[in-house]
């Protein structure tokens, strides 16, 4: 929680240390509470890798991650879902729901065109317009703001894993 507060994703001292993210009640045993907890766990798991270096083709924290290796690792190790290896394959994976940018929730996959190809880059939405990703050679896993012009121009779509965020939304087709 302290990391989320330091990163400006939670107001300082706004939640007890046992809560995961805004809207998550640690005593809520309902399905919605479990879904929120799963998304929170996934986001916290992803944040554990902030500072891990980028490595093309990388799949683990020891050697480094590329963008899709990072998302694949986080999803597999936090919720047991093995995503395809490449960003484009993750965007087209069966069972993932297409969602609009206005409906993003923590734990959703966000895709960008960074190599003149749709779905050439992927990250994990963490809330408040921010996402975490492994950006490029010479860099490290970090949090960025999707509202920055670079990312706005390159956003190509988002996908939701139903068991992370539930599918209680009216899911309108999205890019």
Q: What are phi and psi of 36, to 5 degrees?
A: -60, -40
Catalytic residue, chosen from 73, 133, 159, 160, is 133
Q: How far is CA 171 from each of CA 43, 89, 91, 97, 103, rounded to the nearest angstrom?
A: 22, 21, 16, 8, 8
Q: What tokens appear for 74 in the block? A: 């986080």
Is 73 a residue of the active site? Answer: no
Catalytic residue (one of 1, 52, 67, 143): 67
Query: How would you classify the pairing of strands 121-127 and 155-160?
Result: unpaired
Q: Of the listed 36, 72, 73, 121, which one is catalytic?
A: 121
Partner residues linked to 110 by β-bridges? 123, 158
Name the helix (H) or strand (E) containing 79: helix 67-79
Kindly report the CA angle at 149 between 120 and 155, in degrees rounded to 5? 30
Residues 114/131, Cβ–Cβ less than 8 Å: no
Q: Catalytic site residues?
A: 67, 121, 133
């Amino acid at each position: 929680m302290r990391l989320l507060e330091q990163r400006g994703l939670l107001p300082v001292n706004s939640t007890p240390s046992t809560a995961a993210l805004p809207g998550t009640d640690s005593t809520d045993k309902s399905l919605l509470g479990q879904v929120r907890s799963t998304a929170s766990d996934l986001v916290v798991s992803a944040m554990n890798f902030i500072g891990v270096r980028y490595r093309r083709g990388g799949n683990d924290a020891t050697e480094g991650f590329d963008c899709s290796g990072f998302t694949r690792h986080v999803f597999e190790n936090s919720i047991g879902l093995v995503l395809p290896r490449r960003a484009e394959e993750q965007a087209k994976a069966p069972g993932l729901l297409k969602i609009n940018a206005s409906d993003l929730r923590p734990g959703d996959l966000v895709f960008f065109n960074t190599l003149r190809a749709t779905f050439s880059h992927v990250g994990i939405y963490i809330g408040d317009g921010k996402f975490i990703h492994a950006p490029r050679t010479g860099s490290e896993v970090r949090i960025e703001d999707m509202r920055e012009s670079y990312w706005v121009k390159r956003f190509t779509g988002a996908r939701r894993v139903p068991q992370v965020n539930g599918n209680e939304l009216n899911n309108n087709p999205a890019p």
